[in-house]
Amino acid sequence: MGPLTGLRVVELAGLAPAPFACTVLADLGAEVIRVDRATPGADVLGYPDDPLTRSRHWIGVDVKSPEGLDLVLRLVDRADVLIEGFRPGVAERMGLGPDALLARNPGLVYGRITGWGQDGPLATAAGHDINYIAVAGALDPIGPAGGKPTIPLNLLGDFGGGGLLLAMGVLAALFERQTSGLGQVVDASMVDGAALLTTSLHGLRNLGLWPGPRGTNLLDGGAPFYDTYETADAKYVAVGAIEARFFAALVEVLGLEDPPNHLDPSTWPALRTQIATAIKSRTRDEWTKLAEGTDACLTPVLTPGEAPHHPHNAARATFLNVGGKPQPAPAPRFSRTATDTPTPPSTPRADTTQILTDLGVPESEITRLREAAIIA
């Protein structure tokens, strides 16, 4: 179930951003077939029970062999979407480039994601999330004043500006296909996507509202009313009391005496000391309890292991147990076409026989292909 029920996606196995895009589509109801290598020993992608491979069918094929390539082409002929995350030119050398596939299936939406994009001086250079967000200008603003840039995991490049933006681009191309009847190539670059995520920051800079270096501005930890603070039990709370009425509520919860004008940057050092001293006097959970029911914008900083058990997350089922393991639930939510609970990741290549049977390949031929190591 889900709003994408009936959509067929072929995923060429890769790392982080492309699988995440396919997970988003699968969570929303699309049928995703993950095409991997035929030989298990050659598989260096992912790990067992990786939630980025949940809700998939999984086939192993040697696409370097003519017969293996033909099987994948037949899968693509029946698909609405193909997603790959190789360096520019790799898919073309495999015989699975967009020109070849769109000639066979003109309605195909061909989604491809790279760090640098399909063209430009760095297009064929190696890199990872940290490199892409660095060039996009998304890494430099993150970190403490006077310190070095802080790595935001690989959330901005691989997942936010990468896989999620690719999924959105694929859906946009599918919408346009309803009018034209034609597919197209969606070129998602993690540099482009990470840069897009900084749109608001550029707006603030253009207005002169982000004047300082990292760690000295309104939303980067420079403002004492928008920061994290250590509690008595060496844990942390997050404070985000920007507006006057929220700051007034924070003052009341913390019991601050004669706080200065919080929007005057000249008062920030003294105000930070006041807030830090107050918060250090109680545990994280004590502050959480005191802030409940107020507009103080004070919340606990939870670990990934704690987050599923928070009462709000539990009430909304923000996290689910998939195959006995906690992981985030599909999002967003739909009033009429609700999504199903994701299914656990398949054993790599375990669906090969069933997929080929559904494709119309005779059992005797499947046996021959397996004996020839063309399929898993």
For residues 328 and 302, membership in a common domain is answered with: no
Annotated active-site residue 192? The verdict is no
**C-alpha–C-alpha distance, residues 139 and 276, integer Å:** 27
Residue 350 domain-assigned (yes or no): yes
Catalytic residue among 43, 49, 70, 128: 128
Residue 2 domain-assigned (yes or no): no
Residue 353 domain-assigned (yes or no): yes
For residues 256 and 285, membership in a common domain is answered with: yes
For residues 189 and 305, membership in a common domain is answered with: no
Of the residues 309, 331, 350, which one is the last residue of a structural domain?
309
**C-alpha–C-alpha distance, residues 285 and 150, integer Å:** 27
Handedness of CA 290, 291, 294, 296 (dihedral sign): positive
Handedness of CA 114, 115, 118, 123 (dihedral sign): negative
What is the total count of domains within the chain?
A: 2
Residue 43 has pLDDT above 90, yes or no: no
Q: What is the pLDDT of residue 116?
A: 98
Of the residues 286, 309, 332, which one is the last residue of a structural domain?
309
**Stated pTM of the model:** 0.94
Query: 368 in helix, strand or coil?
Result: helix
For residues 305 and 265, membership in a common domain is answered with: yes
Residue 203 domain-assigned (yes or no): no
Neighbours of 191 (CB within 10 A): 25
Residue 289 domain-assigned (yes or no): yes
Catalytic residue among 27, 62, 129, 158: 158
How confident is the model over 75-90, as pLDDT tens digits?
999 999 999 999 999 9
**C-alpha–C-alpha distance, residues 89 and 308, integer Å:** 42
Annotated active-site residue 50? The verdict is no
Strand 226-230, strand 325-328: pairing: unpaired
Q: What is the pLDDT of residue 21?
A: 98
How confident is the model over 312-326, as pLDDT tens digits?
999 999 999 998 899
Label residue 1 by pLDDT band (50, 70, 90): confident
Residues near 172 by beta carbon (within 8 Å), at least 6 away in sequence: 186
Residue 208 domain-assigned (yes or no): no
